A and B are shown apart, each in its own frame.
Chain A
Amino acid sequence: MDLLGSLSVWIMPLLILLIPVIGFLRRVKVYEAFVEGASEGFQTAIRIMPFLVAMMVAVNVFRISGAMDLFINSFAPLLSFIGVPPELVPLAIMRPLSGTGALGLTTELLNTYGPDSMTGKIASTVLGSTDTTFYILTVYFGAVGIRNPRYSVIVGLVGDLVGFLSSIYICNYFFSW
């Protein structure tokens, strides 16, 4: 288990070490190639900005106004009917909307219920197995100027829902014995 921990620390520096070294050995002008690639970074990041402003303003207004809590409370009975613990419902709603929000909620759940409790394990699995759908959609499509994402929203949200529900069932199955 220490191996996994140190692997996650080492992987980035190893890549930044190995790719230029392999490049050098294969006679790539590494510094020049790096600068050539990096020069695209600024343009791309700036192009994302209006998309990010639109999405983050809407999500933030939805959260701060309390409309999200209303949404959570009205969904809680339905979700607990299919076996979702009520304390996990906010995480289910937050996960696709805000990455930092979901991380905050998970940290709170880990501290309240303990990281080795069933709730803690389920919350960790939810956070690890799905991504922030609306952020990914905004950034990836924003960077190439796509304004109409078509059915992608539905696909992403279905993926989140499946990830959330199967986290609960699979954790209950694996960690109960």
Chain B
Amino acid sequence: MTETASSKQIRRVLVTGASGFIGGRLCEVMAITGTYTPRAFIHSTASAARITRFPIEFSIGDLRDSASVDRAVEGCDAIVHLARGEGSVMRAGLENLLRAAVLHKVSRFVHMSTVAVYGNMPPPESITEDSPIRHCDNLYGREKLGQEKRVLKYARNHGLPAVILRPPNVWGPYSHFSLEMIQKISKGTLALVSNGQNPCNLVHVDNLVEAILLSLWKPEAVNEVFFVTDDPVISWKQCLEDQAALVNTHLPGVAEEDLVVPAAERVWRESFKVVPRVFVSGEFRQQLRRIPLLRIVEEKLFAGFQSLSAETQHSLRSRLTGGNTAVLVRPATAPRFVRNGLHFTQMRRVAHSSEKARRLLGYTAPVKYAEGMANLQAWLRFARHLTS
């Protein structure tokens, strides 16, 4: 970080994704509190109604167009990057933004990442941000992980004062996550998994906005990565039962092991099971032997197989063909809940900690669960998502 960057008073802040859920709230808070002047970077004028309620500055453009990004960043002291989109937006768009941030010497670059960088089943040690990311099996998380690396590269190579925030599911008024829960519970397509005993990693949008505001000026934030979560962490049981109460609906329960494997996953799994059986079948090998080159290979492999002991041959054959596995058929009348989306999320056992954000940023997570629920309920009624 340069001297100029650290000491400069931040005033005008470019907010990308300003017409989205988090960006909309951030612009509202900035406009009302008045300390920062938001410049809303939007891709479409059609979805900006929430923030046009304020007399704020707009910049219409596309992150993939470096000229429009350059125009948007010019004159801004800091950037909060919330926009997301298809691969080109996530990669080329971010690259354009980082390049412009360096060119215009912004004093702070706050990048919104996600706890999903740890994958669908975060390892137990991912309570803190320092724990290494070994493998990410979540497509969105993998994209965001790539973004984190890109941001940190600019911090390292160009002295960009960057801050990375990793929230879990963000809830509150206008939240897609909150709406998804309510809609699925209303339709009866969401169940409480294993009695909802696992921690529900959430952050209220206003708590996340607090973390963003602190990240914009706290010197200790620079080049750090922070989890940002609510405090205390509630269980899925509390979360989902409270949402079900809003819509006066009973929430069904399901055990982890009774969740139905998603169709796409089932196809892959079954295919992998069947492929070895096909390869060792007599019919398939007979066809292979018609090709002279493959016949030589097959004969050598078969000779090798024959040289093994009878027990080893039997064991190998059983493993390749899957043996006599019994197929469990469940009663057709039982409700079937698929092991994906919100059901899968409930199987995570780790509660990410925002202790580092508290220590370095002074993050307080001021909106407690009950207050957040009261505000959410008021908005849901206003926006006609609740009828009673």
- Tell me whether A and B are bound partners: no
Q: Which residues of A contact B (CB under 8 A)?
A: none
Residues of B within 8 A of A (CB): none
